[in-house]
Structure 1
Amino acid sequence: MTEAFPIDAKRRRLLIGAAAGAAGVLLPATRALADQYPERPITFICPWPVGGTADQSMRALCQVAGGILKQSIVVENRAGASGMIGTKALARANPDGYTIGQIPISVTRFSQLGMLQLDPRTELTYLARTSGQTFGIAVPANSRYKTLQDVVAAAKASPGKITYAHAGIGGATHVGMEQFALAAGIQFNAIAYKGGAAALQDVLAGQVELLADSSSWAPHVEAGKLRLLATWGEQRATRFKDTPTLKELGYNVVVEAPNGIGAPKGLPPAVEKKLRDAFRAAVASNEFKQVAARLDAPVMYLDGPDYKKYVASVYEQETQLIQRLKLKELLQQS
């Protein structure tokens, strides 16, 4: 019995030595992985259709980041289910750094609504929050609605009759519009699309009365084809300073839904760092800032760890929003 302790102590020293040796082998291997990566093109999953503002923003960012990494980043659009089809594909991909993608902030909502079977707080790797979006309500130029007050008055007179197009049930455009309706004490007839581009086309064609979207409407407003009634940011949009915000009009609703980039859980730390560094530089580049300004997408950069904390904070907010808007009931009805 007296020799048990010395034997255990010796065994412990041997184990510690072996672990240190293994760590010594792993560190050079990790460095080698970082040096070699990327050896082939990277696939970037965009969960929205081609042509929308998020798609344009992500393509511009990938082009710059690809130049930094000295390897092409190929954008692959997997639209549908308010961005969740692409997000599911991203989460299931091999965590080797060759599949990355945009993570819609609505993952914090859909995971709680049962439309996404993963916990976004722990089951994704976060690389960078990039830029926000300028959301707004627009109508065709020949619409009978000249102001948002006209819309509210008509909706009160005919509850549930006025139609609006949005980019998917439970997404930012749908939830933002329903928050506005709740604040105004009115009801709309919501028409869901697979993305903002399709919603825009039907509003331009006169098939739907209102458009709730990020700035896909901007060039058409400037061309005189659409009229912008309100934007949803904390401040007025730089390019549309004559258009009031919902808050200015008396409705305490702010929606910015910043875009972000991530990867599957389990990304090697050396590869994660290389991607974070590349996208940090890409977001700061003049090329991306010019595209972001054209899309009315204010730069809202956060590095991966801070972005992850932001997602956790939004998750908490969404818990309350789901209850207040009765989103589970809305989804069941649809």
Structure 2
Amino acid sequence: MQDSTFKPGRRQLLLGAAGTLAGTLAGMLPAASALAADSDYPSRPITFICPWPAGGTADVTMRVLMQLAGRELGQSIVVDNRAGASGMIGTKALANARPDGYTIGQIPLSVTRFSQLGVVQMDPLKDLTYLARASGQTFGMVVRSDARFKTLADLVAYARANPGKVNYATAGVAGQTHVGMEEFALNAGIKLNHIPYKGGAPALSDLLGGQVDLLADSSSWAPYVEQGKLRLLATWGAQRLPRFGSTPTLKELGYHVVMDAPNGIGAPRGLDPKIALKLREALRRAILSTEFKAACEKIDAIVMYQDADEYRKFVADNYEHEKKLIERLNLKQMLG
């Protein structure tokens, strides 16, 4: 935005009242132009950077959300998938984009961990503009239906008697599910053997094939649980899932682990506050719509709306939590 403040110099002061009036009117023109630009936003399509592969659970819900937000703004929002490095490639691309309101994106909460581990070179508290928190994923621990573990208590008892013999799969080192499992193991006083994969799909495939004992992942396992091929031992949210109401949460079972990976929407730092406000209002209406709620329910996700200030505070609090968790779990050593 241009500077609209009129600063008369010595020459203008000598020109008299007529000159002063002319200069003042001239000085007002940039402000009028800037206001016109704000009122025209958005005047062209907006790009939304999704840091996950197309077709995944996060991608599906974000596409629905962007359709709804685009409808509110009167412009299309084009999804650009920038997957890789546990979501950090897309997050870094968002931070490096022009702060003109035409590039926004999903911010994985794990950026508060990966930035401190050096996986991504950025400061999530300084390099991003937070617009709104949207929804959270559902995580759970599953075994095959023919496994010896009928309950989580069975798993813990076996792991205590056989340290390091239970293999569990996740979508990668230092991701949400890996950290959640290690935090659970620490609380339970057991040692498990982590088998990292490059994504949730191959990890699920190997569980079904018998190559690993247990899988910690988002709700990719849900249809297999309903088909009777997998058994859900526990979920990780603050409350039980309506779809799997008979399965307890880790918190219920006495393990102080609550993890739902809340994701939100942001932009690069330096975004004009007036443009940010338009985006925030459009996102608020889209997130709280019945259409978005229905999209989330299809993958057992939870609507977790927060506006910009509350969302940024949530991220800052999580940053401090991750700092302590990195030390407790020795995550830097795990990354090598």
Instruction: Give, in angstroms, the shift of residue 231 of structure 1.
Output: 0.7
Give the letter for the 1:119 counterpart. D
Give the letter for the 1:283 counterpart. I
Q: Which residue of 1 aligns with 2:264?
A: 260
Take 1:191 and 1:76, find their aligned partners in 2: how far apart are those partners? 30
Q: Among the aligned pairs, what percent are the same residue?
A: 64
TM value normalised by structure 2: 0.87
| 2:47 aligned counterpart, secondary structure | strand
Q: Which residue of 2 aligns with 1:68?
A: 72
Take 2:89 and 2:315, find their aligned partners in 1: how far apart are those partners? 19
Q: Which residue of 2 aligns with 1:329?
A: 333
TM value normalised by structure 1: 0.88
Residues 220 and 72 of structure 1: CA distance in aligned 2, closer, same or farther (over 3 Å)? farther
| 1:316 aligned counterpart, secondary structure | helix
| 1:229 aligned counterpart, secondary structure | strand
1:61-100 to 2 correspondence within 5 Å? 61-100=65-104
Matched, 1:222 2:226: yes
Q: Which residue of 1 aligns with 2:178?
A: 174
Matched, 1:310 2:314: yes
Residues 290 and 106 of structure 1: CA distance in aligned 2, closer, same or farther (over 3 Å)? same
1:149-298 to 2 correspondence within 5 Å? 149-298=153-302
Which stretch shifts more, 322-331 or 142-151? 142-151
| Root-mean-square deviation (Å) | 2.5
Q: Which residue of 1 aligns with 2:60?
A: 56
Instruction: Give, in angstroms, the shift of residue 149 of structure 1.
Output: 1.8
Take 1:21 and 1:103, find their aligned partners in 2: how far apart are those partners? 43
Q: Which residue of 1 aligns with 2:51?
A: 47
Give the letter for the 1:61 counterpart. L
Take 2:102 and 2:181, find their aligned partners in 1: how far apart are those partners? 36
Instruction: Give, in angstroms, the shift of residue 261 of structure 1.
Output: 0.7
Residues 272 and 170 of structure 1: CA distance in aligned 2, closer, same or farther (over 3 Å)? same
Take 1:284 and 1:267, find their aligned partners in 2: how far apart are those partners? 24
Q: Is the 8 A contact 1:80 1:194 kept in 2?
A: no
Q: Deviations over 1:187-244 (max 9, x none)?
A: 2222223433343333233333211112222222222222110011222112211001
Q: Which residue of 1 aligns with 2:16?
A: none
Instruction: Give, in angstroms, the shift of residue 159 of structure 1.
Output: 2.2
Instruction: Give, in angstroms, the shift of residue 45 of structure 1.
Output: 1.6
1:141-152 to 2 correspondence within 5 Å? 141-152=145-156
Give the letter for the 1:253 counterpart. V
Matched, 1:107 2:111: yes
Q: Which residue of 2 aligns with 1:7?
A: none
1:320 to 300, 306, 324: 324
Q: Is the 8 A contact 1:81 1:168 kept in 2?
A: no
Residues 42 and 208 of structure 1: CA distance in aligned 2, closer, same or farther (over 3 Å)? farther
2:38 to 34, 37, 53: 34
Instruction: Give, in angstroms, the shift of residue 24 of structure 1.
Output: 4.2
Q: Deviations over 1:113-149 (max 9, x none)?
A: 1112111111101111011222110122232322112
Q: Is the 8 A contact 1:52 1:216 kept in 2?
A: no
Residues 23 and 311 of structure 1: CA distance in aligned 2, closer, same or farther (over 3 Å)? farther
Take 1:165 and 1:28, find their aligned partners in 2: how far apart are those partners? 58
Q: Is the 8 A contact 1:52 1:196 kept in 2?
A: no
Q: Is the 8 A contact 1:180 1:253 kept in 2?
A: yes
Residues 23 and 172 of structure 1: CA distance in aligned 2, closer, same or farther (over 3 Å)? farther
Instruction: Give, in angstroms, the shift of residue 179 of structure 1.
Output: 0.3
Q: Mark the runs of 5 or more structure 1 residues left unpaired by the alignment.
A: 1-9
Q: Deviations over 1:92-126 (max 9, x none)?
A: 12222222111011111111111121111111011
Instruction: Give, in angstroms, the shift of residue 309 of structure 1.
Output: 1.4
Take 2:225 and 2:234, find their aligned partners in 1: how far apart are those partners? 12
Give the letter for the 1:156 counterpart. R
Q: Is the 8 A contact 1:51 1:197 kept in 2?
A: no
Which stretch shifts more, 257-266 or 23-32? 23-32
Q: Which residue of 2 aligns with 1:5?
A: none
Q: Is the 8 A contact 1:88 1:116 kept in 2?
A: yes
| 1:263 aligned counterpart, secondary structure | strand
